[in-house]
Structure 1
């Protein structure tokens, strides 16, 4: 009988073991991916995106994706462990992960002012889950878009896209170098800027008048920076009769968007 030294080499102390299961994608963990069923499904359905770079899915999810989108997007069948291997630790991916094509760039000029229209601007809100939740609220209340500062905002992938649950695909996001200059540009175009500040004299309900409005939200710790606040047309507050003035920024954004939707009527 022929020997198979490559299968059982006592000198090397190695034994042959047949490969089973799926091969792990050889790629370092990254937040460049979109994961979670709703987020991936929305990204694949978005015709404005470039072609997907990679799409990993468990066999069951692969069947669901093919039933939904056909076979125009190549799917790499794999297992849950292999998908988790390319994502940040703890990512709840639900058996699917997408490395997406790019979204088209959005300019401030793309936001056309019209009665009742609302844009959100975030001043150094850096937590991706908060920004994702804000995008979800923006989509729910029909906001015209979101403005972020380029240097102090998370990517529109990773934990942000998971928290947004598909809203990344529905709400245009413009990135700008300087928020103060962006406010000037929007004001010149016909928008009215209202900054949220806890020490403002008037409430948000009193400040809103149904005109095209930019709602400017600051970070939870410091609030609006002085220069950004100075470029707002008015500062307004969300009244908190309970006396507990520590509202999560994503919750504050949802309340502000709801209040703005009421002013449209």
Structure 2
């Protein structure tokens, strides 16, 4: 498979291709690199990876016939960053990714650099509107990805997850996050309970989301730097983690279904926290803080 380094013409065809006898032929170029690294697939994850960093994407693989405005944008960014583009049959991309939901767009990327808890706290700081999301053993990759998407959308400073017994950032997670995983720091820690204790020492209020038994989320006053903690769907927060929470909040439900998907619940709680923090921003500047 040969290399295409240039952008696209107005018709959406990759420059460097030519037509011969009704068949598309590749322009001569460098050989395809050896397989390695990590993969992203899907239009949004690949586009956001290109936009977020100039050196994260090492190569692109696009399905023959894939066109449109977004593909033009991806090709133009690849050309600007000097990223090689390889055109593949869809079945080749199915084999490469192990899925059929790649949308004809695959990127080979460098691994993300990790961040320590200390670095996250330093960069975020316990300002009145600082918001962190702590996930206690969320194992479903689609829930994890959806939570990352909501966290980025609501300006969460970082997401904290356990190093073990939890979903990792994979291509499936990145696709569910629609590219949000490229922007939001994700910190892995050994012990969630100890991490919550450390956050409290640094001035954060730790609020656990529970299915029942907590304060209604709209009556609880989210006045200061907040770490929202969510547990695995079904089981919820582990008892030791729940005991480290300063407060517990619940989303009141009025229908027959008495439980929400954890990703949906997380989005609602993040919105409510942000809504209150926005309304009270001037009050927060008056010096109301966690008592030491």
Q: Which runs of 5+ in 2 are unaligned?
A: 1-23, 27-31, 280-292
CA RMSD across the alignment: 2.6
Name the SS of the counterpart of 2:228 in structure 1. Answer: strand
Provide the TM-score with structure 1 as the length reference. Answer: 0.82
**Superimposed CA distance per residue, residues 55-85 of structure 1 (whole angstroms, 9 cap, x where no aligned partner):** 2123546765332332511222222211111
User: Residue 145 of structure 2 contacts residue 177 of structure 2 at CA under 8 Å; is this kept in 1?
Assistant: yes
Task: Tell me, in whole angstroms, the C-alpha distance in 2 between the residues paired with 1:133 and 1:36.
Answer: 15
**Superimposed CA distance per residue, residues 6-46 of structure 1 (whole angstroms, 9 cap, x where no aligned partner):** xxxxxxxxxxxxxx999x99979x9x421001110111222
Task: Tell me, in whole angstroms, the C-alpha distance in 1 between the residues paired with 2:161 and 2:25.
Answer: 43
Larger Rg: 1
Partner of 1:76: 86
| Residues 27 and 81 of structure 1: CA distance in aligned 2, closer, same or farther (over 3 Å) | farther
Partner of 1:133: 146
Task: Tell me, in whole angstroms, the C-alpha distance in 2 between the residues paired with 1:201 and 1:257.
Answer: 16
| Residues 93 and 21 of structure 1: CA distance in aligned 2, closer, same or farther (over 3 Å) | farther
Q: Which runs of 5+ in 1 are unaligned?
A: 1-19
After TM superposition, give the deviation of residue 157 of structure 1 in Å: 2.2
User: Residue 116 of structure 1 contacts residue 263 of structure 1 at CA under 8 Å; is this kept in 2?
Assistant: no
Partner of 1:238: 251
| Residues 26 and 79 of structure 1: CA distance in aligned 2, closer, same or farther (over 3 Å) | farther
Query: Whose relative contact order is higher, 1 or 2, with alpha carbons under 8 Å and at least 6 apart?
Result: 1
**Superimposed CA distance per residue, residues 91-131 of structure 1 (whole angstroms, 9 cap, x where no aligned partner):** x1111111211222122222322112211111111111111
Partner of 2:224: 211
Partner of 1:33: 39
Q: Does 1:85 align with 2:95?
A: yes
Provide the TM-score with structure 2 as the length reference. Answer: 0.75
Higher mean displacement: 176-185 or 195-204: 195-204
Partner of 1:52: 57
Task: Tell me, in whole angstroms, the C-alpha distance in 2 between the residues paired with 1:206 and 1:189.
Answer: 25
Number of aligned positions between the proteins: 242
Q: Does 1:123 align with 2:109?
A: no
Task: Tell me, in whole angstroms, the C-alpha distance in 2 between the residues paired with 1:65 and 1:201.
Answer: 46
Task: Tell me, in whole angstroms, the C-alpha distance in 1 between the residues paired with 2:236 and 2:168.
Answer: 21
After TM superposition, give the deviation of residue 160 of structure 1 in Å: 0.7
